[in-house]
Structure 1
Amino acid sequence: MARLPLEVSSEIFVQCLPEYPRPQTHTITRLVPPLLFLRICFTWNQIALSTPTLWSKMVLESPYDSKLEALAERWLQRARSRPLHISFWRSNVDTRIGSLIWGYRSQLKCLKLNVYNDMYDELDEEDEYAEFRLLFGIAQPEPLPFLRTLDLSGLNSGTLSPLPIIQLLRIAPNLSQLSFCNLALAVDAFDEQLALPNLRRLAFVREDPELDEANYELLDFISAPGLEQFTLDLDFGDEDDIISFLQRSSPPLLALEISGTENLYSFDILLSLVPSLTRLRIKYPDSLAQDLFSALAQTPISVLPNLRDLELESAHDSDVLWDIVVRALRNRREQIKRFRLSDSWLEIPPHVLATLRDLVAEGMEMWIQKTSGLERNINMVGTV
């Protein structure tokens, strides 16, 4: 290693990193890169300390103590002027880590904040910045000019005020990617409208089905006129918030991903609001599948005229649906270039299979995937 150029050694070290390294004070966690590199030998130690990129990402997990705070500060100092990617857990107990991170705000490029939805229950309602101060331990917000990605996750049941989130968005004018996971916002009298002109990707997902209070309330307060990718979980909240947001933003949306088990009663309205869409992915669509293919089968073409890539997972398998699928794909064979469909009980009638093979012969890329338990068989139509 000592004979290699520094840039080569540094790149080898960087490739050994986990996605988000964790600076921990426990002995066992010090045996994980990049802290491990400091303990091997003098040469490795010097290479690690001379490679700021090694220290530009970190996850800070509670509980926090003075040792962890000191280690985190040394970690960030070693990153020098590199863009920072930081994830940390915010409880309602300790603001020291938040204050430390805020001291490096001019370098923050990616911030993942995990919060407790009920952490603001006992704050002074007359203090405009009380909630924000609880996050970062500062007097009032200051600009985050370099921040591009913001991920916010709720860790428990309860609701969170939208105010600190709006305040955070307000000071991040160059934000391009925003995601919410299990986040439950309280409905209150907050009526500010905030435009996010540089936002390109927006996602609402729910990873914990027990957190059934998660919702789309933030969409009432923002617009994203430049949005290109939108990810939705229909189990997340009220579809009216989605429709109003799209009507208000009129984004040039290119990709839309919909998941969840709830029905989307305004699906036709939603489709009419995204004519620029080129990629659509629907997971667990059930009732949406028939509505979608019925719309795609209509002539003249008016719904999703620019659709090129269509993917459905776990759609109902029935002769009725297959007939609609065939009509839709025939009708859109000049537009749709890629089609993917997967289902646990997928059976393709022979006459449908013949038609799908004809579409493949005409140039459409098509994957029909059958999943059953642990078994996964992937067949490309035209070769089976």
Structure 2
Amino acid sequence: MSVHADLRARLAEADASIVELKSRLTAVEAVRQQLQSQLDGIVYPVANLPPEITSNIFLRCLPPSPELNKPVKGYPRMSQAPLIFLRICKLWRDIALSTPRLWVDLLLSLEELEMDEDELERRIADWFGRAGTCPLSFSVRGWMGMDAFGSDAISATLRSYAPHLQSICLQLETAHFEAIEDFTGPFPMLENLAVALPFLDEEADSPMLNFQPTFSNAPRLSQLSFTEEATPTMFSYSFDALSKVTCESCPPDDFLFLVECASFLGEFECTIEEDGMYEYSDSDVITGDHLHTLHFMPNCYFHSLQLLRLPALRNLRLSEDIDNPDENHDFLAFLAHSSASLRSFSAEREITTLTVDWFATSMPGLTELDLCQEDDDFLLEFFTMLDRAQNPGFLPHLQSLTFRDCTFSIEAPMFSALSSRTTADDQSSILESFRQIWPKGEYMVLEDATAASFRGLVERGMKIHVGPAHRSRI
């Protein structure tokens, strides 16, 4: 055999060996992959879960949405859901990217971002682009002196995703709002709007703000929140579905304006401030037909309070003193027109001019009462009236009674009244709970007989809390 023929034969044998070895390697790799898959199923059983179950687990790992007026550093974080799922493995990344509900909530802290406007806009588009057609929540937090950084990206986001935005929270400089105020929507799905202007006092030459009509085309808007110098009349919005308003600082005329204009307003929580033009006269009457819950802090002489008529009011909570005789008169006039339907009344500070007759004449249907009263004469009269054996018609439906920041030296009338409330008939209710919250920082010792009397009420089914707010001594 020639040398050439011999070399060709040996080369053919080498090629055949390579083919055989590659075939064996492929078979071994297939076995290895199968064994690795079986091992992963034992060591990492989550890897074998159906994608829909893994997706649901991812959703349960989402952190709670940060509150607009509380500091958050570096949110959203790469170490938290949903971003962390993109870094574990290809399977989890694919599942996360194909789960729209993971990407419906975005809060941006502009101070944390190191990028230009175009990059910011792309990042937002990438995030919300994964959410498909799901309702979206968009929150932005700024900082003082940012020269309206982010305005273009915020405006672009509002324009691009207006049809899907269900919740918008904006804590920004006035310059941001001035940059986006020309956009009127529509926002067909917007239900919640929160606005904060934390830098208003620090901004030089701040103008009289009136951002019209940025959110006026939002027919489903039901909840409004204004904090940190933002007030209701600074912005334009729809009243058609408005049911709940929270306002950290509300001038009296803004308060009355909302009650008058928002026909379906049901809950209002606000601090009444001294600012305002008081454009209402004593002959005006302002009616809120659907307002059922009012929590307010009258930090000023709020003369216009007596103009209110709230026929559906069920829950009233006061967070400040009402000691001025004239102010007390206005409050009584307000109660005369609005308290017949009250079921819950709470005063977080002492009302020194309060009389027991208020409850007998103005709030006969109360089921919950929460007061700060230290005067023993008032307490003696109250518990005397509360004794069902003597006055069966006094607050017959009362189920929860709380006295804050006070101690009692009228134990006999108190226990007699509480005991009488452990039974009821068809026209009355039992008193389910009684709380006596001691003044903060004050330590007291319950006499054995007193503690035994309270335990007797517990044995009869009444829930008792006596002691500091954080711990009952019973």
TM superposition score normalised by structure 2 = 0.61
Give the distance between the partners of 1:27 and 1:234, measured in 2 at CA. Answer: 34
User: How far did 1:341 drift?
Assistant: 3.6
Give the equivalent residue in structure 1 for 2:375. Answer: 318
Give the distance between the partners of 1:3 and 1:140, measured in 2 at CA. Answer: 48
The question of whether the paired residues in 2 share the 8 Å contact of 1:21 and 1:34 is answered with no
User: How far did 1:243 drift?
Assistant: 11
Give the equivalent residue in structure 2 for 1:209. Answer: none
Q: Which string of whole-angstrom CA distances, capped at 9 and with x for unpartnered residues, describes residues 192-217 of structure 1? A: 9x8723211122236xxxxxxx6455
Give the 3-state SS of the residue equivalent to 2:54 in structure 1.
Answer: helix
Give the 3-state SS of the residue equivalent to 2:245 in structure 1.
Answer: strand
Give the equivalent residue in structure 2 for 1:251. Answer: 289
Q: Structure 1 residues 265-274 or 97-106, which shifts more?
A: 265-274
User: How far did 1:239 drift?
Assistant: 12
Q: Note if 1:163 corresponds to 2:199.
A: no
Relative contact order (alpha carbons < 8 A, sep ≥ 6): 1 or 2 greater? 1
Give the distance between the partners of 1:203 and 1:356, measured in 2 at CA. Answer: 36
Q: Which string of whole-angstrom CA distances, capped at 9 and with x for unpartnered residues, describes residues 272-309 of structure 1? A: 236444334433x322x7537542133xxxx3455433
User: How far did 1:10 drift?
Assistant: 2.1
Give the 3-state SS of the residue equivalent to 1:101 in structure 2.
Answer: helix
The one-letter code of the counterpart of 1:219 is F
1:105-144 alignment, distance < 5 Å: 105-116=162-173, 119=174, 132-134=177-179, 136=180, 139-144=182-187
Give the equivalent residue in structure 1 for 2:84. Answer: 36
Partner of residue 333 from structure 2, selected from 269, 274, 287: 269
1:224-243 alignment, distance < 5 Å: 224-234=262-272
Partner of residue 153 from structure 1, selected from 196, 201, 222: 196
Q: Note if 1:349 corresponds to 2:410.
A: yes
Q: Note if 1:295 corresponds to 2:340.
A: no
The question of whether the paired residues in 2 share the 8 Å contact of 1:252 and 1:274 is answered with no
User: How far did 1:115 drift?
Assistant: 3.1
Q: Note if 1:97 corresponds to 2:148.
A: no
Gaps in structure 1 of 5+ consecutive residues:
121-130, 207-213
1:201-240 alignment, distance < 5 Å: 201-205=244-248, 215-216=251-252, 218-219=254-255, 221-222=257-258, 223-234=261-272
Give the equivalent residue in structure 1 for 2:457. Answer: 382
Partner of residue 220 from structure 2, selected from 174, 191, 199: 174
The one-letter code of the counterpart of 1:163 is N
Give the distance between the partners of 1:181 and 1:2, measured in 2 at CA. Answer: 46
Give the 3-state SS of the residue equivalent to 1:31 in structure 2.
Answer: coil
Greater helix fraction, Structure 1 or Structure 2: 2
Give the equivalent residue in structure 2 for 1:78. Answer: 130
User: How far did 1:144 drift?
Assistant: 1.2
Aligned residues: 347
RMSD: 4.1
The one-letter code of the counterpart of 1:154 is L
Give the distance between the partners of 2:273 and 2:294, measured in 1 at CA. Answer: 16
Identity of matched residues, %: 23
Cα distance 1:349–1:42, how it changes in 2: closer, same or farther (>3 A)?
farther
Cα distance 1:348–1:297, how it changes in 2: closer, same or farther (>3 A)?
farther
User: How far did 1:83 drift?
Assistant: 0.8
The one-letter code of the counterpart of 1:20 is S
The question of whether the paired residues in 2 share the 8 Å contact of 1:254 and 1:279 is answered with no
TM superposition score normalised by structure 1 = 0.74
Give the distance between the partners of 2:401 and 2:456, measured in 1 at CA. Answer: 10
The one-letter code of the counterpart of 1:78 is R
User: How far did 1:185 drift?
Assistant: 4.5
Cα distance 1:216–1:35, how it changes in 2: closer, same or farther (>3 A)?
farther
Q: Note if 1:4 corresponds to 2:69.
A: no
Give the distance between the partners of 2:291 and 2:88, measured in 1 at CA. Answer: 50
The question of whether the paired residues in 1 share the 8 Å contact of 2:197 and 2:228 is answered with yes
User: How far did 1:147 drift?
Assistant: 0.9
The question of whether the paired residues in 2 share the 8 Å contact of 1:293 and 1:324 is answered with yes
Give the equivalent residue in structure 1 for 2:451. Answer: none
Give the distance between the partners of 2:242 and 2:397, measured in 1 at CA. Answer: 28
The question of whether the paired residues in 1 share the 8 Å contact of 2:373 and 2:403 is answered with no
Give the distance between the partners of 1:381 and 1:247, measured in 2 at CA. Answer: 50
User: How far did 1:237 drift?
Assistant: 5.8
Give the distance between the partners of 1:370 and 1:225, measured in 2 at CA. Answer: 38
1:7-86 alignment, distance < 5 Å: 7-20=52-65, 29-63=77-111, 64=113, 65-66=115-116, 67-86=119-138
Give the equivalent residue in structure 2 for 1:123. Answer: none
Gaps in structure 2 of 5+ consecutive residues:
1-45, 298-318, 388-392, 425-429, 447-453, 459-473
Cα distance 1:184–1:107, how it changes in 2: closer, same or farther (>3 A)?
closer
Cα distance 1:113–1:311, how it changes in 2: closer, same or farther (>3 A)?
farther
Give the distance between the partners of 1:306 and 1:169, measured in 2 at CA. Answer: 40
Q: Note if 1:370 corresponds to 2:431.
A: no
Give the distance between the partners of 1:108 and 1:374, measured in 2 at CA. Answer: 50
User: How far did 1:236 drift?
Assistant: 7.5
User: How far did 1:241 drift?
Assistant: 8.7
Q: Which string of whole-angstrom CA distances, capped at 9 and with x for unpartnered residues, describes residues 334-379 of structure 1? A: 3333333433x4446302243133224431222314253499x9x8
